[in-house]
Amino acid sequence: MTWWIGRTPGGRTVGVAALVVAVGLGAALAGGLFAGEPAVNVEVRRFEATPLSALATVRSKEPVRVEVKIAGLDGEDLQFARREFRTEHSVPVLGLYPDHENHITFTATHRDGEITEIVRTLRTAPLPEHYPEVHLERRFPGRISEGMILLHLAAYDEEGTYIPLASVIDSYGRVRWLYTEDYGHVLEPLENGDLMVQKENRLVQMDWLGRTPWEGFDVPGGLHHDAAELPDGNLLTLSAAPGSVEDAVVEIDRDSGAMLRRLDFRDILDPERPRQPVNLDEADWLHLNGLDYHGADNAVVVSGRDQSAVVKVGLETGKIHWILGNHHHWSEEFRPLLLEPLGRDFEWPWGQHAPELHPTDPSRILIYDNGNHRSYDSPIRPADNYSRAVEYEIEEDAGTVRQVWQYGAERGSELFTPFIGDADYLENGNRLVTFGGISRDLVGNPQALFDLEAMEVNDMKISAHIVEVTDETPARRVLEFVFAHPDPASYAGYRVYRAEKIRLSEHFP
C-alpha cells in the first residue's frame, strides 16, 4: 500500500491515498498536482508472522524527520519516530489492534519547520481461533506501571495440542502484537530493541516484524528454559552437561557462536541428593529452569527446580557463593554454603522458577515459588497448597537470608501452579506475578503435575492469571488478567510461561 502526501504553502497537509505503483504516482505528483512542492511517499509493508505490525517506508524529495502515531482506543497512542533528517526513513507501525480499522498519522517535519501530515487507516484481521478472551480487573488504575505485557502465551486444544500465541497486551487487555510462528522457551527483549527467540535448538535475534537479522547458533547440549544477554553482548543459556539432563550453564560468543565456557553442575552440586519435587525422568536430578546474571561478581544465579534450590555461582570460577533452599539431605561439604534463615515469617521456595535480582540492590532477589509438596516427609496436597512470588534479602558475607515480601499464599489453592510461573520487578516498585500453569481436573479440583504411580502426566485443564501487585505488605492488587477456557467439560486451556512489562514504542532499533 502506498500513500502520497504533499505539503501546501501554508505548511498543512494535503493527502491522497491509493493502491498504486509507487513510481507511477510519484512521477504524477512531482510533475503535476504538486508541481513546485516537495512530495512525500509513504509505503506500508505487512508481515505474515506479525499481523498486528507493519513497516512504513517514508520517502521525500527534501530531507525530513518522521513520526508515526497509532491512535489508541483508550487514550494510549503509540508513537515511533526517526529524528534525523533524511529523504528515506523506515519506521515501525507497531501496536495495531486486531479486527479493527487502525488510524495511523504520518508526520513529516521539514528543515524549515513546515509539516506534512496524513491520517490513514489500516485494516487488520481478527485474532486466531484459539486466542483466549482476555478477562481483566483494573482495581487501582493510577498505580498500574507503564507499558504493556509481553506474553509467552500458548493454548491447548481438547486433545492437548500445544498452540503458541506469543503476544503483547496493553493494560486494558487489548492485544497489540502477535507472533504466529512456533518458538521455544526463550522470548526475551534484547538491549538493541529486538527479541531473543528460541527456534528449536537455536537462539536467533528477531525484530518485532518477525524478521531475523541474526540467525544465531545451535546451543551445545541443547537449549532449555532460559537465556540471558551479558553486558558484553555474549549470551548465557541453560543447557545440559555431556550425557546428562538440564544441568549446565553455557556462555556463547555472540559473534562466532563458539562456546566460551560451560558450568557442569554435576561438579558444583550433589547429583545424589534426593529430588523434591520429582519428575518422570530419573536422570533429571536438577532441572535448571531460570537464571539471572550478577555483574558486580561476574556470577550467575540459577534455579534448580528438582532440588528446590536457588544457587549463586561464579561464572569463571564455578565456585558456589550461596545456596538458598531447604537444609534437608545436604552433605557436609555444602552445609557452610547454605543460607541461614532469619525472621519469623519465613518459608523456603519449593519447585521454584525465574529468579530475578533486584535492578539496584542485588542483595534482594524475587522468585516464583511454585510450592510443589513443600516438604520431603509430609507433602502438602494440591487442594491445600499455594504458589506465590517471594522476595528474599541475602547478606552474603554473613550467610543469612530473610523473607521480606510475598504475594500468593493468601489466595490459597486458587492460584496453585504445579509448573511454570514468573515474577518480575517493575519500574514503579510494583511486581508482576505470572501464575502461568494453574492446573485442575474437570471437576475443578487443584491437580498435581504428575501421577507418580502411573509415571505419566496428569490430564489437566490449565489456566493462567497475571497479577500486578504493589510492594507493600500485604500487597495490593492493582491489575489482574485471567486466561481461562470457558468450557468446563473440556481439557482445552491456556498457559503463560513468562510475562514481562515492556514499552513497545521503545523496543524497535
**Bridge partners of residue 480, in order along the sequence:** 137, 467
pLDDT at 10 over 90: no
CB 36 within 8 A of CB 30: no
- The secondary structure of the chain in percent helix, strand, coil, rounded to multiples of 5, reads 5, 45, 45
Segment 321-344 mean pLDDT: 97
Q: How open is the CA angle 261-266-272, to the nearest 5 degrees? A: 170
Residue 410 zone, left/alpha/beta (φ > 0; ψ -120 to 50; rest) = alpha
Cβ neighbours around 284 below 10 Å, total: 18
Supply the pLDDT for residue 255. 85
More confident residue, 256 or 306: 306
∠ CA 56-61-65, nearest 5°, is 50
Q: Scanning the structure block, which residue is given the C-alpha cell 500453569?
A: 437
Band (pLDDT 50/70/90 cuts) for residue 272 is very high
d(CA 5, CA 3): 7
Question: If we measure between CA atoms, which residue out of 352, 401, 396, 400 comes closest to residue 374?
Answer: 352
- Residue 394 β-bridge partners: 401
Res 508: pLDDT: 65
What's the DSSP call for residue 302? E
Q: What is the mean pLDDT of the chain?
A: 90
Q: What's residue 304's pLDDT?
A: 98
Residue with cell 552440586: 269
Q: Is the pLDDT of residue 38 over 70?
A: no
Q: Are 503 and 146 in contact (CB under 8 A)?
A: yes
**AA letter at 504:** L
* pLDDT score at 19: 29
- Give the torsion sign (CA, 241, 449, 187, 232): negative
133 vs 6, 136, 153, 169, 340, CA distance in Å?
Answer: 42, 10, 13, 12, 45
Mean pLDDT of the 318-334 span: 97
Is residue 51 left, alpha or beta, with left meaning phi > 0 and alpha meaning psi from -120 to 50? alpha
Domains of the chain plus CATH, in order, are 2-123 (2.60.40.10), 135-506 (2.120.10.30)
86-114 per-position pLDDT tens digit: 999 999 999 999 999 999 999 999 999 99
Give per-residue pLDDT as tens, 355-396.
999 999 999 999 999 999 999 999 999 999 999 999 999 999
- For 250-268, what is each residue's pLDDT tens digit? 999 988 888 999 999 999 9
Amino acid at 18: A
CB 233 within 8 A of CB 254: yes
Give 213: exposed, middle or buried? Use CB within 10 Å, 0-12, 13-18, 19+: exposed
Alpha-carbon gap, residue 448 to 441, rounded angstroms: 9
CA-to-CA distance for 40 and 114, rounded, in angstroms?
13
How many whole angstroms separate alpha carbon 335 and alpha carbon 107?
64
Q: Please give the angle made by the CA atoms of 117, 120 and 126, to the nearest 5 degrees.
A: 150
Q: Is residue 25's pLDDT more than 60?
A: no
Residue 13 has pLDDT above 80, yes or no: no
pLDDT at 35: 44
Residue 31 identity (one-letter amino acid): G
pLDDT at 29 over 80: no
Angle at 508 between CA 505 and CA 509, to 5 degrees: 140
Residue 452 has pLDDT above 70, yes or no: yes
Question: Would you say residue 465 has pLDDT above 90?
Answer: yes
Q: Is the pLDDT confidence value at 45 over 60?
A: yes
Average pLDDT, integer, range 335-348: 96
Q: Is the pTM higher than 0.85?
A: yes
Strand partners, 338: 323
Q: How far apart are CA 387 and CA 408, in angstroms?
A: 6
Q: Which of 56-60, 215-219, 243-247, 424-428 has the lowest mean pLDDT?
A: 215-219
Cis, bond preceding 189 (omega within 30 deg of 0): no
* DSSP secondary structure letter of residue 476: -
Distance (Å, whole) CA 320 – CA 306: 18
Give the per-residue pLDDT at 484.
97
Summarize the confidence of residues 219-244 as an average pLDDT. Answer: 93
SS (H, E, C) 152-188: EEEEECCCCCEEECCEEECCCCCEEEECCCCCCCCEE
Report d(CA 301, CA 59) in Å as an integer. 48
| 497 has pLDDT over 80 | yes
- pLDDT of the residue at 75: 86
